[in-house]
Structure 1
Amino acid sequence: MGTFKIEGGHQLHGAITPQGAKNEALQILCAVLLTDEAVTIHNIPDIVDVNKLILLLEDLGVKIQKKGKGSYTFKADDVNTGYLQSEQFKKDGGGLRGSIMLVGPLLARFGMGYIPKPGGDKIGRRRLDTHFEGFVKLGATFRYNREEHFYGVEAKELKGTYMLLDEASVTGTANILMAAVLAKGTTTIYNAACEPYLQQLCKMLNRMGAKIQGVGSNLLTIEGVEKLGGTEHTMLPDMIEIGSWIGLAAMTRSELTIKNVSWENLGVIPSVFRKLGITLEQKGDDIFIPKHEDGYEIQNYIDGSILTIADAPWPGLTPDLLSIILVMATQARGEVLIHQKMFESRLFFVDKLIDMGAKIILCDPHRATVIGHDFKSQLKATTMVSPDIRAGISLLIAALSAKGTSTIHNIEQIDRGYENIEERLKAIGAKIVRL
């Protein structure tokens, strides 16, 4: 189990560039299975979850060539579908939540898709019903081995249909979309997710020859085609990493520039941070954050009531940023209610912040009230264990702002979502060592 040792209380300075988007990568990489032609992808983040998926593709028989940092060419012209029923696949596929998105492309092209119960963050229930209900509506037969927790779908032919998703699941929409592009006839997906990463997937598939309309809306219409071709694709910067660096700048009262953020794809993220009192300046496609020497003040609502920040499907605020916003609020001037609607275990890391001296009331599994210190009482260093990716980065931000030397164990969770993090933080002045 890896460990970070962090000496907190130092101001940072300089510029940091966000990695390619993890959540986009997991979709885009699975889509290479939809064609036997070469697909070149740029700006792929070098992180554990993405690298695991690349290895899974290689084990499936996909030919992979590394072209440079973050750039790969994939060619799925000799896929070994027998690997899907092997014990090795059951082991490897079960260690990565993103492996669920292999099912749609495999079903569309080869008439079969299997997956062990996926792993990932322990943040509460993350059901797969939406995925498999969509496949069944397209004409697939579903089966589930309860003893081995092994899922499967099979179909001789997929047929387009109308479906209303029971939730606007990003991975569910992506998976069903990838199955539908090669189905016979027209598929309509209502209550579809419309995150920028899903829009990126749609644009890439259309360049490959798919016929998808309604991109960016919650109503997608897909006219099935017989075959897809190769393409080249560049992934967006990771909006969760961008939010993480905004939180880091605020908590350490540092002057930072976040480079190449793709402002037009950030949605409500800048305005949410501004409600917390953070000054963000747009300079070209960069975000400049000045030193907040006098701290930052949380806005109340017009009637004076306490601000509530809650997650919601796009264009609402992504749930992945709530942990970071919660940590930032511990040193703000004012109070805020954090409402994590989507996952019932994601706020359970707040006990570690309370140990550091934060004023947090955990109301229930979904809500926490934070009373800010206004930097009058600095967080105290402590020893912590990272429970998941986003809690892990939040604890790291807290440690970098705290007085004294903190230790964070189980940092493999952070490595799953953040590329080469300690070297990038050292480059802007952080005192961090990997043990």
Structure 2
Amino acid sequence: MIPDVPNSDSELGHFANGTDSIDPNLLDLQSTSREVHLRIEGGRRLRGEVALKASKNAAVALLCASLLNYGVTKFLNFPRIEEVTRMIEVLESIGVKINWRESNTLELRRPKELRLENLDEEAARRTRSVLMLIGSLMHDHLEFDIPYAGGCKLGERTVKPHQYALEEFGVNITATDKHYTVKVNKKAPGEMTLYESGNTVTNNTILAAARTEEGTFIQAASCDYMVQDLCYFLQRLGVEIEGIGTPLLYVRGLSRIKKNIEYTPTEDPIEAMFFISAAVTTDSEITIRRVPFRWISLELMKLKKMGLRYTLSASYRAANGLVDLADLTIHRHEGKLSALPDKLHPNVWPGLNPDSLPYFAPIAGVVTGRTLIHDWMYECRAIYYAELSKLGIKVELLDQHRVYVRGPSELIKADLSCPPALRPASLLLIGMLAASGMSVLKNVYVINRGYEDLAARLNMLGASVEVFS
């Protein structure tokens, strides 16, 4: 099991009286180590259009994958978020040359020899994504250390699936006091089955197979969006991959990869769910542009059965030419939504995405009836949903996995600190947008891990969100 690493995001105490107000349209959240907070004047209906950014989960996998390539890698329209910044700090510390260009283009040049002994442990411990470095580094290094992974605090999150998968490639992982020590005696597994269909473990396995010349059959692979994006990128590098979007992948790798490449990751379906939830909770009509709608098709169907009206435009291709997008308009419901008769629960794709599930909690607070949300994948995340009760949403915590949410609720203002998990923290922001009066959300680093320029983009929709420190 991963050790219980102390949360690095310190809680803010009582506010001092002269805080510094920051223009959210100019704020570069990656340039400051100060705690950043939001002041939200809620009770406003949103209106207008917002375009999605590329996804956090795809971006961090692509950064790890860039280490496989000895050529120049350029990622276009890359998200400038805290999680990406932490991974960039890690890569730069081991010798990768990284530059941000115009229009969020990120250019990476890896050296012939990486300096793994210089790895930035502080940055690495603030993200779980460092685990995916193992699948990339194992091809050129016989022994190295990876710090214990951080990220969202969602209970015990075992690394055993990574260990079991990479053992098939001759990788031995041993936990020490502060690190995982990785030793490599590389071999080709041929055919293998994953211990669980997790996203990061599937990505790690694909990265291990991407420079294994013999073909690898991977059974029980995750089919989720970030896995698909990684596969599409590796195909552009020349790796042969069959079965993308299915639980059975065939990967035939290359012994060495050196190619100058440009790739644009697909827009974030979970960010789409944030804006959908914000629109429904505030009873607003907005248009969300560039939605990878097939990756949230079940989520949209559930909302339709609640009574939500929405419109999808004709589909068009993402910039990578691989994924279908559409513009999604959420219409006002005017309080006419009803709770579903059965529970909401996550599953592997094409099931309801585990990161989409939390966004149904504030929605359940404004529909008529009682909704059971069963968040079975994580030991603790459902507990954070109970924080919505401080905003007036009726939440009954049944156990660490299940909550009942009863609506409709009259939301109220509050001053709260973000819980140490991205999606639960962003739920509080959604609730504050709907609650009349002035609310404060403290220490929003965890939200900035996954969402870019969120305050400014909400303000463009008619919200009133002030960033201050």
Which of 69, 76, 84 aligns to 2:103? It is 69
Which of 339, 342, 354 aligns to 2:374? It is 339
- Equivalent pair of 1:193/1:314 in contact (CA under 8 Å): yes
- How far is the alpha carbon of 1:118 from its aligned partner? 0.6
In the aligned structure 1, how far is the partner of 2:139 from the partner of 2:172? 13
Query: CA deviation digits over 1:98-121, x for unaligned, max 9?
Result: 111111111123344531111111
- How far is the alpha carbon of 1:431 from its aligned partner? 1.1
- Equivalent pair of 2:386/2:396 in contact (CA under 8 Å): no
- How far is the alpha carbon of 1:397 from its aligned partner? 0.5
Letter aligned with residue 324 of structure 1: Y
Structure 1: gaps (5+ residues): 300-305
Which of 413, 420, 424 aligns to 1:381? It is 413
Q: TM-score, with normalisation over the residues of structure 1?
A: 0.93
Which of 263, 271, 290 aligns to 2:331? It is 290
In the aligned structure 1, how far is the partner of 2:188 from the partner of 2:290? 41
Q: TM-score, with normalisation over the residues of structure 2?
A: 0.86
Question: 1:197 aligns to what?
Answer: 226
In the aligned structure 1, how far is the partner of 2:209 from the partner of 2:182? 14
In the aligned structure 2, how far is the partner of 1:152 from the partner of 1:221? 28
Question: 1:351 aligns to what?
Answer: 386
Give runs of aligned pairs for residues 12-91 of structure 1, distance below 5 A: 12-81=46-115, 84-86=116-118, 89-91=120-122
Give runs of aligned pairs for residues 28-427 of structure 1, distance below 5 A: 28-81=62-115, 84-86=116-118, 89-145=120-176, 147-148=177-178, 150-230=179-259, 231-284=261-314, 285-299=326-340, 306-373=341-408, 377-387=409-419, 388-427=421-460
- How far is the alpha carbon of 1:29 from its aligned partner? 1.0
Letter aligned with residue 309 of structure 1: L
Letter aligned with residue 231 of structure 2: C
In the aligned structure 1, how far is the partner of 2:443 from the partner of 2:306? 30
Q: Secondary structure at the match of 2:357?
A: helix
- How far is the alpha carbon of 1:156 from its aligned partner? 4.3
Pair 1:122–1:378, CA change in 2 (3 A): same
In the aligned structure 2, how far is the partner of 1:372 from the partner of 1:108? 53
In the aligned structure 1, how far is the partner of 2:374 from the partner of 2:386? 17
Question: What's the C-alpha RMSD, in Å, of the aligned pairs?
Answer: 1.6
Pair 1:161–1:400, CA change in 2 (3 A): same
- Equivalent pair of 2:335/2:366 in contact (CA under 8 Å): no
Q: Secondary structure at the match of 2:38?
A: strand
In the aligned structure 2, how far is the partner of 1:291 from the partner of 1:355? 25
In the aligned structure 2, how far is the partner of 1:224 from the partner of 1:2? 44
In the aligned structure 2, how far is the partner of 1:393 from the partner of 1:328? 13
In the aligned structure 1, how far is the partner of 2:142 from the partner of 2:345? 40
Q: Secondary structure at the match of 1:319?
A: coil
Q: Secondary structure at the match of 1:313?
A: coil
Query: CA deviation digits over 1:355-414, x for unaligned, max 9?
Result: 2222221111111111111xxx52111111111211111100101101221111121111
- How far is the alpha carbon of 1:352 from its aligned partner? 2.5
- Equivalent pair of 2:96/2:110 in contact (CA under 8 Å): yes
Question: 2:8 aligns to what?
Answer: none
Further displaced range: 327-336 or 63-72:
63-72
Question: 1:3 aligns to what?
Answer: 37
- Equivalent pair of 1:108/1:178 in contact (CA under 8 Å): no
Further displaced range: 114-123 or 89-98:
89-98
Pair 1:410–1:297, CA change in 2 (3 A): same
Q: Percent identity?
A: 31
The count of aligned residue pairs is 421
Q: Secondary structure at the match of 1:249?
A: helix
- Equivalent pair of 2:335/2:367 in contact (CA under 8 Å): no
Letter aligned with residue 123 of structure 2: D
In the aligned structure 2, how far is the partner of 1:79 from the partner of 1:21? 30
Pair 1:274–1:180, CA change in 2 (3 A): same
Query: CA deviation digits over 1:233-292, x for unaligned, max 9?
Result: 111111111001011111111110001112233342221222333222102310011222
- How far is the alpha carbon of 1:169 from its aligned partner? 0.9
Question: 1:302 aligns to what?
Answer: none
Structure 2: gaps (5+ residues): 1-34, 315-325
Pair 1:361–1:216, CA change in 2 (3 A): same
